[in-house]
Amino acid sequence: MSQQVEKKAGYKSTEFWMSLAAVAVGAVASTGMVEDNEFAAKIVGLITATLVALGYTGSRLTLKKHALDAQVQINAGNNNSNTEGDTKAPAE
């Protein structure tokens, strides 16, 4: 009997929506849509948006790796439990 690890879609996660909000704010700051915005502030906004997007991608990859590792362990455990009783004595 194989157990499946449930994987939540990325767009349903809190990290996604928080990252999207940060990217949107950073993008607005970097485009100059807000008045009285200096060049340095635009650069900071662009860098912030980039870092948040990279952070989100990294965290999702880490979570998916852990989910895959857990699935492999579950499958390995199921395979071992199915074969433990199948050992036969050597034929004489």
The whole model's pTM is what?
Answer: 0.47
Largest CA distance in the chain: 91
What digits encode the pLDDT tens for the residues 61-75?
Answer: 888 888 899 899 888
Q: Is residue 28 part of a domain?
A: yes
Q: Is residue 2 part of a domain?
A: no
E-strand ranges in 1-92 read: none
Q: Is residue 60 part of a domain?
A: yes
Contact 35, 61 (CB under 8 A): no
pLDDT at residue 86, rounded to an integer = 52
Q: Is residue 43 part of a domain?
A: yes
Q: Is residue 55 part of a domain?
A: yes
Q: Is residue 1 part of a domain?
A: no
Q: Is residue 45 part of a domain?
A: yes
DSSP state of 32: T
Q: Is residue 20 part of a domain?
A: yes
Range of the structural domain that residue 17 is part of:
11-73
pLDDT band at 10 (very low <50, low <70, confident <90, very high): confident
Q: What percent of the chain has pLDDT over 90?
A: 1
Mean pLDDT value across residues 29-40: 71
Domain count, the chain: 1
What digits encode the pLDDT tens for the residues 37-49?
Answer: 677 777 777 878 8
